[in-house]
Chain A
Amino acid sequence: DAKTTQPPSMDCAEGRAANLPCNHSTISGNEYVYWYRQIHSQGPQYIIHGLKNNETNEMASLIITEDRKSSTLILPHATLRDTAVYYCILLPLDSNYQLIWGAGTKLIIKP
């Protein structure tokens, strides 16, 4: 079973920042937080990942709380093309690298 909890759906206005929460209250010290997204009918796409520190790349920012029990993915200027299902996934350091996928959050960007 997925060890993360995400809201099933969210809306965001085009041009605004989209903030997607993820709860992982049982996270252990050696687990990374990964985010992927899946645009309708396509294969998933990697977005970003982190362990303890906040991370930023050309697609998004990842904010992890100090106790690591939750995180937020931020899309700074959402566009219609960001409409997708967003998955928050934990990956243990000593795992066999299997991503365990939950149901994700359906993000709808509205014009």
Chain B
Amino acid sequence: DAEITQSPRHKITETGRQVTLACHQTWNHNNMFWYRQDLGHGLRLIHYSYGVQDTNKGEVSDGYSVSRSNTEDLPLTLESAASSQTSVYFCASSARAISSYNEQFFGPGTRLTVL
């Protein structure tokens, strides 16, 4: 069955280190998204991509970068981790880029702690 996976599931790092979170989907979806979720809050969009070589900034993109070299993967990089980036990170993908049908499929999440 098609799925979307994230790795690692848990990560502890130190302030100032570069960290990369992996996201891999086998749905063959063109659209992929990265969100962060802080305790007790809804999700906030970090970056998104509508296809290979396409990336766009979301609501809270400062300190994060993404690259899309193939359809399946959208890694998220924290250039220099900060304690404010301690959060749960979710990756998602969707088949269509139209508002009339925009079901997003979410991965299980990565819990990142920055000490």
What is A's interface to B at a CB cutoff of 8 Å?
2, 30, 32, 34, 36, 41-46, 49, 51, 87, 91-104
Contact = CB atoms under 8 A, between A and B. Distances in A.
Q: Which bracket fits the contact residues of B?
A: 20 to 34
Interface of B: 31, 35, 40-45, 48, 56, 58-59, 90, 92, 94, 97-109
Given A43-B92, A51-B100, A93-B100, A98 B106 contact: no
B56 A87 contact: no
A94 B97 CA distance: 10
A99 B45 CA distance: 8
Contacts of B35: 101
Contacts of B102: 32, 34, 49, 91, 97, 99
B99 A103 contact: no
Contact of A32 (B94, B100, B108, B109): B100
Contacts of A98: 45, 48, 58-59
Nearest to B94: A97
Nearest first, the 4 A-B pairs at minimum CB distance are: A43-B106, A101-B42, A46-B103, A101-B43
B99 A32 contact: yes
B104 A96 contact: no
Contacts of A97: 31, 48, 94, 97-99, 102
Contacts of B104: 36, 44, 46, 99
